[in-house]
């Protein structure tokens, strides 16, 4: 599959990962607070170029196989500012789990919410999901706010679902269903062939 791009007039767009993204990914991802928000049990910290390359390789293979879809989040000038994606894709039940992060210098400017809106278009319209969920640590108010603002509902708390390496952590589960999804922008996906995602 060539490069896949999801865009609108948001000032940020999504593009499938390329080897050339490795340095920007490592530079932005090497941040303890960011890793803590995503989950220290699975997100490397410290985060170096080799972690970024391993991630790009894994993510590219998973995208080609229709198992996961990860994208770089870019500003309109091409700068990579973060990563997001859908994992745990279940073709039979048409569901997936969203994950996302931005480099710290880009927090709090509305980019995260816009990028997740683009991801929702990809998930609901391009790969025909019916349900998109997200797991959020209870301390992560920004992420919970972002999701609620997009119509996600909190469904409950998964008790001790994760660890930070020292203590067990609860995770709140949020989800948005296709029937509650309203796309109020002109969002376009280019270069995507849904073949490997078909049921």
Distance from C-alpha of 152 to C-alpha of 97, rounded to nearest angstrom: 12
Q: Please tell me what DSSP assigns to residue 39.
A: -
Residue 138 contacts by C-beta under 8 Å, 6 or more apart in sequence?
157, 170, 171, 172
Near ligand COA by CB under 6 A: residue from 16, 24, 28, 143: 143
Cβ atoms of 94 and 131 within 8 Å: the answer is yes
Rank residues 33 and 193 by Cβ distance to ligand COA and give the closer one: 33
Q: How far is the CB of 195 from ligand COA (least distance, A)?
A: 30
Task: Mark 30-69 with x for binding to ligand COA (rule: CB under 6 A) and - for no binding.
Answer: ----x--xx-------------------------------
Partners of residue 5 on adjacent β-strands = 15, 190
Q: Copy the structure tokens of residue 111.
A: 């980019």
Contacting residue, 3, 41, 142, 157, with ligand COA by CB under 6 A: 142
Q: Cβ 113 to ligand COA, closest distance in Å? A: 3
> Going residue by residue from 67 to 106, which x/- string records binding to ligand COA, judged by CB under 6 A?
---------------------------------xxx----
From the list 6-14, 22-30, 111-119, 156-164, the region that binds ligand COA by CB under 6 A is 111-119
Counting DSSP H helices and E strands in the chain, the numbers are 5, 9
Sole binder of ligand COA in the list 140, 151, 177, 189 (CB under 6 A) = 140
Which secondary-structure segment (H or E) carries 100? Answer: strand 95-102
* Residue 107 · residue 155 · CB < 8 Å: no
CA distance 124 to 115: 14
Shorter beta-carbon distance to ligand COA: residue 81 or 127: 81
Residues that bind ligand COA (CB under 6 A): 34, 37-38, 100-102, 107-113, 134, 136, 140-143, 145-146, 149
């Amino acid at each position: 599959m060539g490069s896949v791009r999801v865009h609108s007039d948001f000032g940020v767009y999504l593009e499938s990962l390329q080897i050339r993204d490795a340095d920007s990914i490592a530079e932005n991802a090497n941040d303890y607070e960011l890793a803590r928000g995503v989950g220290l049990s699975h997100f490397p910290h410290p985060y170096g170029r080799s972690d970024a390359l391993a991630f790009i390789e894994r993510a590219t293979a998973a995208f080609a196989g229709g198992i996961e879809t990860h994208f770089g989040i870019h500003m309109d000038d091409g700068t990579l500012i973060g990563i997001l994606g859908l994992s745990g894709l279940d073709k039979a039940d048409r569901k997936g789990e969203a994950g996302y992060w931005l480099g710290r210098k880009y927090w709090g400017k509305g980019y995260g919410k816009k990028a997740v809106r683009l991801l929702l278009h990809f998930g609901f319209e391009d790969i025909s999901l019916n349900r998109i969920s997200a797991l959020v640590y209870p301390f992560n108010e920004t992420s919970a706010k972002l999701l609620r603002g997009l119509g996600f509902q909190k469904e409950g708390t998964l008790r001790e679902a994760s660890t930070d390496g020292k203590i067990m952590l609860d995770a709140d589960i949020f989800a948005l269903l296709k029937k509650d999804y309203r796309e109020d922008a002109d969002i376009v996906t280019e270069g995507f062939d849904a073949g490997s995602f078909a049921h």
